[in-house]
Amino acid sequence: MDLKLAMLFFNNISFYKRFIWLPITGFIILFSSATVAWEIVPLSEGFYSKIQQEYGKQTELRFRQLQTLLLREDKRPLKEELRAVNDFFNQIEWRDDLSHWGKKDYWQTPLETMMSFIGDCEDIAIAKYTALRMLGIDDDRLALVYVKINQPPVYNNVAHMVLAYYENHDADPIILDSINTELRTGGQRMDLLSVYEFNTTTLWLTDYHLHKLGKARLASRLSLENELKQRLSTNRRHLTKLNAGKPFYPFSLETL
């Protein structure tokens, strides 16, 4: 994740002392609604067969593994759910966008991430976000967080993205990270300096340790948002076609 891009995004935020709702645009629309109760249903063998034909055996196996994670009949404690999702997507091979896509910055859809299981910090955080929403965790408890990570000598104020889970608005969040893979709270992650965070409806300015200061709004869109939105729509239509024209879970949401 490019620091200049992050700061461009940050500099385009107009901050107000009173709370301001963020207009729902572009990349911020990851899901169609924060309040819909999704019903998880198994994917058909026909679907898995088509996934294998188009994307290969390894992609098919990853779809099966993710479905197994999401369809567990025994209800696990929340922290175990967070850990399971964190561990699954932390298996992704890290690669920067320039070497992977030939672009300085590129935001993958969750389908693209599942296909290659290669990505950078944003791609991993977005995939975790998607899976937790699929598990029924409310949108207002999750946030994608742009941070600077300081772990010398490897990471010296390097721009990074993590996923945060909030028990409530003022809680010390649990951090799902692709660098420090153990679940820790924001208060325990003194190596992270938060810049801002957002979910599907709202963008917040935060202090350095992930405490929300106030809502904000974007003064302009980034071109990456519109480009990603187009790919999300294409993914959704194609996967519906592979599923004999029927919407299916988990990859039939507005994320894909």
What is the model's pLDDT at position 226?
Answer: 63
Residue 161 covered by a domain: yes
Which whole number is the average pLDDT over 141-151?
91
Instruction: Check whether 216 has a pLDDT greater than 80.
Output: no
What is the model's pLDDT at position 211?
Answer: 60
Which whole number is the average pLDDT over 221-246?
72
Which whole number is the average pLDDT over 231-238?
79
Tokens at 9, concatenated: 């995004």
Higher pLDDT, 86 or 45: 86
Higher pLDDT, 246 or 92: 92
Residue 43 covered by a domain: yes
The alpha helices in the chain, defined as continuous H runs, are 3-11, 45-55, 57-70, 78-89, 97-101, 110-116, 121-134, 223-242
Residue 11 pLDDT class (50, 70, 90 cuts): very low
| Count of domains observed in the chain | 1
Residue 79 covered by a domain: yes
Residue 247 covered by a domain: no
Residue 154 covered by a domain: yes
Instruction: Check whether 8 has a pLDDT greater than 50.
Output: no
Do 196 and 146 meet the contact criterion of CB atoms below 8 Å apart?
yes
Distance CA 86, CA 11 (A): 30
Global pTM reads 0.77
Model confidence over 164-212: pLDDT tens digits? 999 987 889 999 999 999 999 999 999 998 888 877 666 666 665 566 6
What is the model's pLDDT at position 25?
Answer: 30
Residue 254 covered by a domain: no
Cβ partners under 8 Å of residue 3, min gap 6: 148, 158, 159
Residue 51 covered by a domain: yes
Mean pLDDT taken over the chain: 76
Q: What is the largest CA-CA distance in the chain?
A: 54
Higher pLDDT, 78 or 13: 78
DSSP class of 204: E
Residue 40 pLDDT class (50, 70, 90 cuts): low
What is the model's pLDDT at position 41?
Answer: 63
Tokens at 227, concatenated: 């480009």
Model confidence over 99-128: pLDDT tens digits? 999 998 888 888 899 999 999 999 999 899
Range of the domain at 164: 3-242
The CB density around residue 105, as the number of other CB atoms within 10 Å, is 17
Tokens at 243, concatenated: 């599923």
Higher pLDDT, 20 or 140: 140
Residue 235 covered by a domain: yes
Higher pLDDT, 129 or 215: 129
Look up the CATH number of the domain holding residue 118.
3.10.620.30
